[in-house]
Amino acid sequence: MAHPRNSQGNGAVVYVRVSTDEQAEDPLNLEKQEARCRDFCVQKSTPVRAVFVDAGESARTVDRPEFQRMLAYCRAHRNDIGFVVVQDLSRFARNVQDQGQTIAELGCIGIKLRSTYETNIDESPEGKMGANMLGSINQYFSDSLSVKMRGRTRQSVAAGRYPWRAPIGYKNIGGKEGPNIKPDEDRAPLIRRAFELMATGLNSKAEVLQIVTSCGLTTAKGKPLSKQTLQAVLRNPLYAGWVTLPSVPDFEPVRGLHTAIVRQETFDRVQSILAGRRPSVVAKQKINPLLPLKWFVKCGACGTPLTGGAPQGRGKKTYPRYWCRNPKCRAVSLSRSQLENEFLEVLGRLRAAPETIAEFPNVAAKVWAARHETSEWEIERLTERLDGEKTLLSKLLRMRARGEMSAEEYEREKGEITAQIYEYEEQVRDLTPDRSAIEFVHFAQLKLVDMASAWKIAEPEQRQRVQNLLFNDGLDYSPERGILNRSNSSLYSMLEAMKPENGWLVGPPGLEPGTNGL
């Protein structure tokens, strides 16, 4: 290292960098870089004036906090600094254009770049050529790695994993299989509370931010959340259990392996409020017109009723889906169109022969009458369980009021009990016979008993009634076999069992009754 005659410009600044948070958490990595740079300066009798450290920053761009501070320091102390010292050129830049422009910028104020590994890099023609060649190699390595990482990231997201640093409310966990983030015990309850406060429609974002901040919600670095950060949290479908790929606009959200912090209904309600559609404070809607088969179809693997939602991708495009709500199963996850098209194929088998169309409603009426008797005891049993859960919720509230449990424990237990109450209410409502279901069958009769076409144009409540009439125990769904009807006592099974040669039913061409797993 040649020294200028004026010793005032003989000082050096040291710049060290690592690319990932994992590398940044290993102090020996950064410490070794700094130690090597300092030893190099000692050998050249060059005093170190300052050290700048970028921890977890990519060199594909010069927009790095400490890198920009280093350049500003060099400009402010140009009379005292003669060199910028790095371990190797890849620490300085992984973009040929950025490398050349920054070296030229430093050169204009009399400062030279030196590398401890590439000692032939200097201001000679050979040294400049060597720097350009190494810069091209470093950029090629970075570009190649970027392509590989994009592929790995897409595969990871498609598998339901979140391959980035965990957002507020979650923590990263190790392991190459299963979920790689989990709820943060301290912050997750406060994130959930932020969503619930926003979902009431009674609080502004500023008020929600003030409440959760007063309760202790901070970033991972212990700082209060900004308005922009809260907005990003409330818009992030990750908290409702979805993983997206922001770099691909048309990537359909995937049900994540991680535990959701908020319920899908709460998340959807918050999105409506943020979009300016502030709903009134009313009871939760029982029938979802967007997802008519929700709760009606069960997971074929574990028997849990499917839930559903419409997660947003980029550009606010929604992707309605059904999925198993059991976090330990998740065997079923498919788009709304796929499940409903398969359901319509099932309904399409119920086509009566023209000479016996008039008998179809009579069969349905008999089944409805029989079901009215058998469902009463089941409704009574579910009502007892429902009352028990409501009593438990009241006890929980009193325990919280007496200070016998923390706010986090209360919110967690309350969420589980409320979900169970909602499920029991749904089951009771589904078991309650409704005469209008028979009216729907008459309506289908007028459509030449084209049950599929009738279902498609029916009102949401009519759809649900006919579903419960035809399949009193609901349906199962298997990813391998499709829709499964496991009940032999359903109206559908009785009608399907009737022989076509007896004039009761005829199947559509090429499809015999009893196929497709039913």
Domain with 219, as residue range(s), is 167-282
Same domain, 25 and 132: yes
Q: Where are the alpha helices (DSSP H) in 161-262?
A: 188-199, 205-214, 227-235
Residue 386 pLDDT level (bands cut at 50, 70, 90): confident
Domain for residue 76, yes or no? yes
When divided into structural domains, the chain yields a total of 2
Structural contact between residues 190 and 217, judged by C-beta atoms closer than 8 angstroms:
yes
Same domain, 64 and 187: no
Q: Tell me the whole-structure pTM to 2 decimals.
A: 0.44
Distance CA 248, CA 154 (A): 9
Q: Is the pLDDT of residue 500 over 60?
A: no
Q: Counting runs of H as helices and runs of E as strands, what totals does the chain give?
A: 17, 14
Same domain, 103 and 173: no
- Provide the angle, in degrees to the nearest 10, between the axes of the packed helices 407-431 and 360-401: 160
Q: Fill in the amino acid letter for 286.
A: K
Task: Supply the pLDDT for residue 343.
Answer: 92
Partners of 318 in the beta sheet?
A: 312
Domain for residue 22, yes or no? yes
Domain for residue 85, yes or no? yes
Domain for residue 272, yes or no? yes
Residue 239 pLDDT level (bands cut at 50, 70, 90): very high
Alpha-carbon torsion angle 332, 335, 341, 345, nearest 10: -10
Domain for residue 487, yes or no? no
Same domain, 141 and 180: no
Domain for residue 128, yes or no? yes
Which of 267, 282, 297 is a domain's end point?
282
Q: Output 45 or 460, whichever has higher pLDDT.
A: 45
CATH classification at residue 141: 3.40.50.1390
Q: What is the pLDDT of residues 116-151, one digit of tens each?
A: 999 888 888 887 887 778 877 877 776 676 666 666
Helix (H) or strand (E) holding 201: none
Which residues are CB-neighbours of 166 under 8 A, at least 6 positions away? 172, 181, 184
Phi (first) and psi of residue 172, to 5 degrees? -75, 140
Task: Supply the pLDDT for residue 21.
Answer: 60
Q: Output 296 or 424, whichever has higher pLDDT.
A: 296
Which of 264, 282, 300 is a domain's end point?
282
HEC states along 207-233?
HHHHHHHHCCCECCCCCECCHHHHHHH
Structural contact between residues 262 and 195, judged by C-beta atoms closer than 8 angstroms:
yes
Which regions of 236-276 does DSSP assign to beta strands (E)?
A: 242-243, 254-255
Same domain, 28 and 131: yes
Instruction: Classify each residue of 275-314 as buried b or exposed e, where b means 16 or more C-beta atoms within 10 Å of its C-beta.
Output: eeeeeeeeeeeeebeebbbbbbbbbbbeebbbbbbbbbbe
Structural contact between residues 12 and 84, judged by C-beta atoms closer than 8 angstroms:
yes
Maximum C-alpha span of the chain? 111
Q: What is the mean pLDDT of the chain?
A: 78
Q: Output 60 or 76, whichever has higher pLDDT.
A: 76
Distance linking the first and last C-alpha atoms of the chain: 82
Q: What is the pLDDT of residues 5-27, one digit of tens each?
A: 444 478 999 999 987 665 656 65
Task: Supply the pLDDT for residue 370.
Answer: 59
CATH classification at residue 188: 3.90.1750.20
Residue in the structure block whose two tokens are 């007028």: 446
Domain for residue 516, yes or no? no
